[in-house]
Amino acid sequence: MKKRVVEKSKINLLDLIPVRNIKWEKKEDGLIILFKPKFEHAFLKKYVLPRLKKPYYKIKLDHVGSFTWELCDG
């Protein structure tokens, strides 16, 4: 018995537009800090995140990362 082969549609990556969809802040020295929630599941977001001391991971970007993040304005 043959397996059906599903063709994947080809996506032109140059047509995609980057969007910043997490919280972030810019420090005085120009560096960016991203705040990623520890949980993505709706139940955990609603009941567990409010009870945590630190509900977000802090991701500190260097100069190159901060520059790139500012260029991703959608």
pLDDT at 6: 66
Give the whole-angstrom CA distance, residue 6 versus residue 2: 12
Output the six-digit token pair for 37: 């929630």
CB count in 10 Å sphere of residue 66:
19
Burial (0-12, 13-18, 19+ Cβ within 10 Å), 64: exposed
- Summarised one tens digit per residue, pLDDT across range 20-71 is 889 999 999 999 999 998 888 888 878 887 787 888 899 999 999 999 999 8
18 — pLDDT class (breaks 50, 70, 90): confident
Please report, for the chain, the start and end positions of each structural domain, with discontinuous segments joined by +: 17-71
